[in-house]
A and B are shown apart, each in its own frame.
Chain A
Amino acid sequence: MNLSLLSHELLVLALGLGLLLVDLWLPVPAKRKLGYVAAAGVGLILLYSLFCVQLPASSPVQYAFGQMYALDGLALFFKRFFLLAALIVLLMSVEFADRIASGIAEFYALMLFALSGMLFASSANDFALLFVSLELITVTFYVLTSFQRARVTSLEAGVKYLIIGALSTAFTVYGIALVYGISHTLNFGLLSGVAAQYGDNKIFLFGLALVLVGLGFKIAAFPFQIWAPDVYQGAPTPVTAFLAIGSKAAGFALLLRVLFIAVPDITARWSNLLIIISGVSILYGNLCAIPQRNLKRLLGYSSIAHAGYLLLGVAALSAAGRSAVLYYLSGYLFTVLSAFTVICLALRGVEGEDVGGLAGLHRRSPLLAATMTLAMASLAGIPPLAGFFGKFLLLKAVVEQGPTHPGYYCLTFTALAGVVISLYYYFGVVRAMYWPGEAADLSPIVVSKPIRLTLYGCIGGMLYLGLFPNGLLEAANQAVKLLR
């Protein structure tokens, strides 16, 4: 077996374990800086992935562990995606570290373990690996969510995430058992060959539906979204950020693999289901976000809406739709991470992360205010930012399917309604920063150099993807080529 296929995962695991070891000998004050080491390590792995890992043109898919693990264009795209996300989140964590009472090295290491789970998820070609990687992500997040043990909200978030997460895990594993019981295989490749003949088998379909429940939980789509606002609100901000982008993207990576590699024939008949889930998620997320005052909670609801937008591309059941999902996720990465970085710095010490705490931010730190404005504008889908082109691609993919099924037109208009609603609360955030209001605290915020660079990178990413989409779109088109 070719172990080099697993190089990303092994390197990340080694980094995480190394961090835990080093922690034993390090004096307490220096531990905080370990985050930079972790970030640098992840950065190096990302560079290695970008420049040294290439799929040979002769065999676009390479397998390991008896076809359980696949390295293809999609896997590579997501691996780089997760590495970049983890890099930014780790830098954010260093900034956050003084708010964590003890065990900061474990905090970094757990993030790396979650990252390795995501890397495995992007390559899962088998229900067993799907389950294991999902668990690796979820279990580490149980711990991460409740890491601020002194804060009740953090503990509450951890417990909620644990209970609902365990429930969804149970659904997934039950679903996998049913699928295996009928088809006698867990492998996606083998399953795609036989799935068509079980198309009318109710137990098989029930099993698949239960697997989708588990994945719906990961991406926080309606009706499995119930945990998102509470957990987003309660978890430490870097964890929320990692949850918002990494965990969601891992859910989408698995969703794409299950729907379009394992059971494409059955997926083709599920367009109605996907359309409804997508449309309701968009409406639910956007409408519930309107009255929110807690910024992290608001972004929690907005993330439900964005799961809905991303599902537009899945529901379109076309290559264009799938590449739009990848594109949108990439834009979402820069947008969401910059928003959470700003929250991490600007709302320090603000009770309940109230939106009002942003008042006067443009005086306290023009860079943070500008970043937040751009992030909100990108989430709302305003040119020339990444969110605009991403939404354009998703809408195009859905409208393209319109002639085959009128439901797609309804979905298009639902999505448009969602966009219009979302303008209200995204601009509300911008308004809170710039409007003449009573700002209690006008002391300038010190932005450290690494965070400054991160923010410049995120702004650059949002603008680059909005202004020069050609390169990434080509890459996304290549990545989804093998999906049916």
Chain B
Amino acid sequence: MSPLTYIIGWPLCAAVFLLLVPRTFRPVVRAVAILATSISALLALKLFLQFNAGRLGYQFEQQVLWVTSLGISYHVGVDGINVGLILMGAFVAFAAACVSWEIKEREKEFYILLLVMTGGILGAFASLDLFFFYFFHELALVPTFIMIGVWGRGEQKNYATFQITLYLSIGALLALVGLIALYLQAGAGTFDIPKLAEYLRSPEHRLSASAQNFIFPLLLFGFGILVSLWPFHTWAPLGYGSAPTATAMLHAGVLKKFGAYGLIRIALPLLPDAARDWMPIVAWLCLGNLLYCGWVAMRQKDFNRMIGYSSVAHMGFIFLGIASLNLIGVTGAVLVMIAHGFLAALTFGLSGYLYQQTGTLEMDRLGGLLRRLPFIGAALMMAAFAGCGLPGFANFAGEITVFFGAWKAFRLVTILACWGALIIGAVYMLRAVRAMLHGPLPEQWAKVADAPHLWRKAPFLLLLASLLVFGCFPKLLTDKIEPSVSEKVLVNAATARADGSSRRKEALTASVVAKDMSLLTSAATEKGGSLNR
């Protein structure tokens, strides 16, 4: 059995086990949840370390036939693109289980849902089968709604639940129709992603332009809603503002990336022609995320809302990287996905801690908290710096790579995006730090207490350490991501470009295109290398 099956299976088995534990055994419930997520995290770390970046294809594969007549199989495996995401997901899940001590009522149900969500998330990223890809995502999504509805906070809890359920269900169902249409149009009789990619790569099975242009928007907007692509982002800030800490960490950090991952894993390689046609639109939409949502974030008075908007704004980088459709850009997008996962989990975890202590996140009412909270405050400050893209944190590596990639494709958009990233991000993050951590300490917060012992600090330390490790050594990730992106994601895009140019009757021979591509690749590796150095 593949280690991936264990990584997915432990949380799910623990959830089933918790069903049998009486609800009065509170420490047992919590211990089981933490134990299961920590086993998953350790296994994911082991998987990450054992991953062989030099090998093509998928590793740690396992395939079990599930429905013969439809060609659905349980197929898991990793390549450079999802190995980092699984590591990130497992770490965040562990951290989320650790910070859930704030849940005081119906703990058993909460941890069961948390574990189901964890298993679903990890399964979605590990699946190499269209059906299970969707299945696991939905398995993770539904607990999110319930957790926000039952354990959420604030006056707008019910409205937030309603809105997030509506938006995300619509997004997921649109994507489902897209995936079914893709399966049917391909006509290969299989839901297996590697097989479909193989099948559609051959010229005679290539999907027609009209089919691609029908399916691609379904996937783009379906997945786009899930990743809060502007203008479908309104569910995110409110939803995260009302969610319990662990849910916000897991959703903003990991589950949300599912949409972007779906675009990279499915939409780009299988629908290369349509991808090329739609990407300029995506590039302009991502400015909505970067500039508009950044702008809105600056005006927020509630810290949770602000980081909600900031997390929406950061999605713009991912979309910009994907839109550039070149090796550097897409690699950067994957890097941002991983980096932002750690960052979002960290910020939501810290804001959850603050909320527990103070009962409010209104930035006007807070202040001077660094004196009372040396550890939490320092961690929050570091998170804010990472959010502005300070070198040394993983976000910087990802964002700069995205800009390098996007510069080739969309110069104007990149210039505007830099503005959003550097200035706007810095303004709202630093403002928040000043308002909450510096200045005089209002009397009412004189009793606020810092994280008392290592056990409370552990989740934050783990996330910060990951941000720093991958920030200082992005090579750990890029070495794995790059070969997979060029092998799986962009291989069809290259031929699409060749087709497209011949259609436009440009005097480009295949050899020139090939040369062009090889130049691009070598430039990419060079730049990636210099980055890593």
**Is A bound to B?**
yes
Residues of A within 8 A of B (CB): 377, 382-384, 388, 392, 395-396, 399-400, 402, 412-413, 416, 419-420, 423-424, 427, 430-431, 434-435, 469-470, 473-474, 477
Known: A402-B181, A419-B169, A423-B165. 20 other contacts (CB 8 A): A382-B138, A382-B142, A383-B139, A384-B135, A395-B177, A396-B70, A396-B184, A412-B177, A416-B170, A416-B174, A419-B173, A420-B173, A424-B162, A427-B149, A427-B165, A434-B109, A434-B150, A470-B67, A473-B67, A474-B69
Q: Which of A377, A392, A423 is within 8 Å of B169, CB to CB?
A: A423
The 7 closest A-B pairs by CB, nearest first: A416-B173, A399-B180, A420-B169, A470-B67, A383-B138, A396-B180, A383-B135
Interface residues in B42-92 by Cβ distance below 8 A to A read: 66-70
Of chain A, the residue at the smallest CB distance from B166 is A420
Cβ–Cβ contact B142 & A377, under 8 A: yes
Complex Cα gap A383–B106 (Å): 23
Of chain A, the residue at the smallest CB distance from B170 is A420
Interface residues in B176-197 by Cβ distance below 8 A to A read: 176-177, 180-181, 183-184
Cβ–Cβ contact B173 & A477, under 8 A: no
Chain A residues positioned under 8 Å from B135 (CB to CB): 383-384, 388
Complex Cα gap A399–B184 (Å): 8
B75 → A minimal CB distance (Å): 15
Complex Cα gap A474–B183 (Å): 20
Of chain A, the residue at the smallest CB distance from B211 is A403
Complex Cα gap A399–B177 (Å): 8
Cβ–Cβ contact B176 & A395, under 8 A: yes
Chain A residues positioned under 8 Å from B184 (CB to CB): 396, 399-400
Chain A residues positioned under 8 Å from B180 (CB to CB): 392, 395-396, 399
Given the known interface contacts A420-B169, A423-B165, A431-B149, the answer about A399 and B68 at a Cβ–Cβ threshold of 8 Å is no
Given the known interface contacts A395-B177, A416-B173, the answer about A470 and B66 at a Cβ–Cβ threshold of 8 Å is yes
Most chain B CB inside 10 Å of its own CB: which residue of A383, A420, A427: A383
Chain A residues positioned under 8 Å from B106 (CB to CB): 434
Chain A residues positioned under 8 Å from B68 (CB to CB): 470, 474
Of chain A, the residue at the smallest CB distance from B174 is A416
Chain B residues positioned under 8 Å from A392 (CB to CB): 131, 176, 180
Chain A residues positioned under 8 Å from B169 (CB to CB): 419-420, 423
Of chain B, the residue at the smallest CB distance from A467 is B66
Number of interface residues of B (CB under 8 A): 29
Complex Cα gap A416–B139 (Å): 18
Of chain B, the residue at the smallest CB distance from A384 is B139
Of chain B, the residue at the smallest CB distance from A412 is B177
Chain B residues positioned under 8 Å from A477 (CB to CB): 69
A406 → B minimal CB distance (Å): 11
Beta-carbon contacts of B299-329 to A below 8 Å, as 1s and 0s? 0000000000000000000000000000000
Complex Cα gap A377–B139 (Å): 11
Complex Cα gap A424–B177 (Å): 21
Complex Cα gap A412–B174 (Å): 10
Chain B residues positioned under 8 Å from A388 (CB to CB): 135, 138
B430 → A minimal CB distance (Å): 40
Complex Cα gap A396–B181 (Å): 8
Complex Cα gap A412–B179 (Å): 13
Chain A residues positioned under 8 Å from B139 (CB to CB): 383-384
Complex Cα gap A395–B173 (Å): 10
B71 → A minimal CB distance (Å): 12
Cβ–Cβ contact B138 & A473, under 8 A: no
Complex Cα gap A434–B109 (Å): 10
A344 → B minimal CB distance (Å): 24
Q: Which of A399, A412, A431, A473 is within 8 Å of B69, CB to CB?
A: A473
Of chain A, the residue at the smallest CB distance from B106 is A434
Of chain A, the residue at the smallest CB distance from B173 is A416
Of chain A, the residue at the smallest CB distance from B162 is A424
Chain A residues positioned under 8 Å from B67 (CB to CB): 469-470, 473
Complex Cα gap A105–B162 (Å): 48
Chain A residues positioned under 8 Å from B170 (CB to CB): 416, 420
Cβ–Cβ contact A399 & B181, under 8 A: yes
- 6 residue pairs of the A-B complex, CB under 8 angstroms, read A382-B138, A396-B183, A399-B181, A423-B165, A434-B106, A474-B69
Of chain A, the residue at the smallest CB distance from B185 is A403
Complex Cα gap A412–B66 (Å): 25
Beta-carbon contacts of B264-275 to A below 8 Å, as 1s and 0s? 000000000000
Complex Cα gap A382–B145 (Å): 12
Chain A residues positioned under 8 Å from B138 (CB to CB): 382-383, 388
Q: Which of B66, B150, B165, B177 is within 8 Å of A435, CB to CB?
A: B150
A237 → B minimal CB distance (Å): 27
Chain A residues positioned under 8 Å from B173 (CB to CB): 416, 419-420
Beta-carbon contacts of B107-149 to A below 8 Å, as 1s and 0s? 0010000000000000000000001000100110010011001
B207 → A minimal CB distance (Å): 12
Of chain B, the residue at the smallest CB distance from A399 is B180
Complex Cα gap A369–B357 (Å): 35
A390 → B minimal CB distance (Å): 13
Of chain A, the residue at the smallest CB distance from B116 is A384
Complex Cα gap A388–B141 (Å): 14
Complex Cα gap A83–B526 (Å): 70
Chain A residues positioned under 8 Å from B176 (CB to CB): 392, 395
Chain B residues positioned under 8 Å from A420 (CB to CB): 166, 169-170, 173
Complex Cα gap A388–B166 (Å): 18
Of chain A, the residue at the smallest CB distance from B167 is A420
Complex Cα gap A423–B167 (Å): 12
A437 → B minimal CB distance (Å): 12
Chain B residues positioned under 8 Å from A469 (CB to CB): 66-67
Complex Cα gap A395–B131 (Å): 13
Complex Cα gap A216–B33 (Å): 50
Complex Cα gap A430–B173 (Å): 22
Complex Cα gap A383–B131 (Å): 11
A479 → B minimal CB distance (Å): 13
Chain A residues positioned under 8 Å from B150 (CB to CB): 434-435
Complex Cα gap A395–B180 (Å): 8
Q: Which of A382, A384, A416 is within 8 Å of B177, CB to CB?
A: A416
A275 → B minimal CB distance (Å): 16
Complex Cα gap A420–B163 (Å): 12
Chain A residues positioned under 8 Å from B183 (CB to CB): 396
Interface residues in B422-437 by Cβ distance below 8 A to A read: none
